[in-house]
């Protein structure tokens, strides 16, 4: 495995591989089994002839809250070991100064899918994600990139970005990886108090119950209300949103024959957790 911390080093490492299948897994580090799953999928997709590139970059531009950025875990040595174990060929680990020009003045705003769910709650977040991912795509020029479905809205926005900007990369969505008790893996989970860690699997349980209730004919509003009440009843939990939307447009579901998405964000103390499930009638 090779590592690059500058754009020039990265370009040099990639130069002999141009023309091959290049599969990219962008990350912000603090890698866990969810990331490892994406990297193993990337390895399988690239095959023996292709190249797997991962980036480890805690992108300051996508944080709307300085405290959240400061508290984000950083484990570079362990992250490199995960990349190596999963068969990553090249890891790009720039600093913010290398990644961004001090007087940068271009923004990347998606104006439809970003206005709802997490986008409505975290102003500028998805603009920061689109900016960094478009830069990474320009630097690496991958043929494929893999993102997890836990960040369902992020995945939808990045699909839209490459479609609208004609960026020649295939975006793949990977299923959510969960702990044995159902909690979706997240770099934020390590910041949960023991009490909140014990209560957090309730998110997944209530989503699964909601999925069944929706399938059995429950109204969207009732489903959301039940999930909201269940989570709000946990001590120290503040529900940010519970919404049932069209899984593709992320806006109101106008035809219940279409795939729906039930998405949740809730603060367990200081830690904001998200989760979701796709629903059908």
* Per annotation, catalytic residue among 35, 172, 228, 251: 35
Report the residue number, 57 or 214, with the smaller CB distance to ligand PAF.
Answer: 57
CB of 126 to ligand PAF, least distance (A): 9
Token pair 């949960």 is found at 192
Among 79, 89, 144, 151, binds ligand PAF (CB under 6 A): 151
Of 9-17, 67-75, 129-137, 237-245, the window that binds ligand PAF (rule: CB under 6 A) is 129-137
35 is catalytic: yes
Among 13, 14, 24, 26, binds ligand PAF (CB under 6 A): 26
Cβ neighbours for 172, distance < 8 A, ≥ 6 positions apart: 41, 45, 144, 145, 146, 147
Residue of 102, 169, 103, 105 whose CA lies nearest to 133: 169
Report the residue number, 97 or 255, with the smaller CB distance to ligand PAF.
Answer: 97
Report the residue number, 89 or 151, with the smaller CB distance to ligand PAF.
Answer: 151
Among 23, 83, 91, 133, binds ligand PAF (CB under 6 A): 133
Is 129 a residue that touches ligand PAF (CB under 6 A)? yes
Please classify residue 48 by burial: count the beta carbons closer than 10 Å to its beta carbon, then call 0-12 exposed, 13-18 middle and 19+ buried: exposed
C-alpha pair distances (Å), 261 with each of 173, 257, 278: 15, 12, 5
Return d(Cα 161, Cα 142) in angstroms, integer. 15
Among 132, 155, 176, 200, binds ligand PAF (CB under 6 A): 132
Residue of 268, 270, 248 whose CA lies nearest to 260: 248
Map the footprint of ligand PAF across residues 51-70, applying CB under 6 A: 59, 62
Neighbour count for residue 155 (Cβ, 10 Å): 18
Q: Which residues are catalytic?
A: 35
């Amino acid at each position: 495995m090779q590592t690059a911390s500058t754009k020039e080093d990265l370009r040099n490492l990639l130069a002999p591989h141009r023309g091959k299948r290049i599969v990219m897994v962008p990350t912000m580090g603090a890698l866990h089994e969810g990331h490892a799953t994406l990297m193993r999928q990337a390895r399988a997709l690239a095959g023996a002839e292709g190249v797997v590139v991962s980036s480890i970059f805690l992108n300051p531009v996508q944080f709307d809250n300085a405290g959240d950025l400061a508290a984000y875990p950083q484990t570079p040595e362990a992250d490199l070991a995960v990349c190596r174990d999963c068969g990553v060929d090249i890891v790009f680990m720039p600093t913010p100064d290398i990644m961004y020009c001090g007087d940068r003045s271009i923004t990347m705003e998606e104006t439809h899918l970003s206005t709802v769910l997490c986008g409505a709650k975290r102003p500028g977040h998805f603009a920061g994600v689109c900016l960094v991912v478009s830069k990474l795509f320009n630097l690496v020029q991958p043929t494929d990139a893999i993102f997890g479905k836990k960040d369902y809205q992020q995945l939808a926005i990045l699909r839209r970005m490459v479609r609208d900007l004609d960026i020649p990369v295939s975006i793949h969505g990977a299923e959510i990886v969960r702990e044995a008790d159902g909690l979706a893996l997240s770099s934020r989970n390590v910041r949960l108090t023991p009490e909140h860690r014990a209560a957090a699997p309730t998110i997944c349980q209530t989503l699964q119950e909601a999925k069944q209730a929706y399938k059995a004919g429950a109204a969207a509003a009732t489903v959301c209300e039940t999930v909201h009440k269940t989570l709000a009843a946990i001590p120290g939990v503040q529900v940010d949103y519970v919404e049932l939307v069209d899984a593709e447009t992320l806006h109101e579901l106008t035809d219940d024959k279409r795939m729906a998405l039930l998405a949740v964000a809730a603060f367990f103390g200081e830690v904001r957790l998200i989760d979701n499930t796709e629903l059908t009638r």
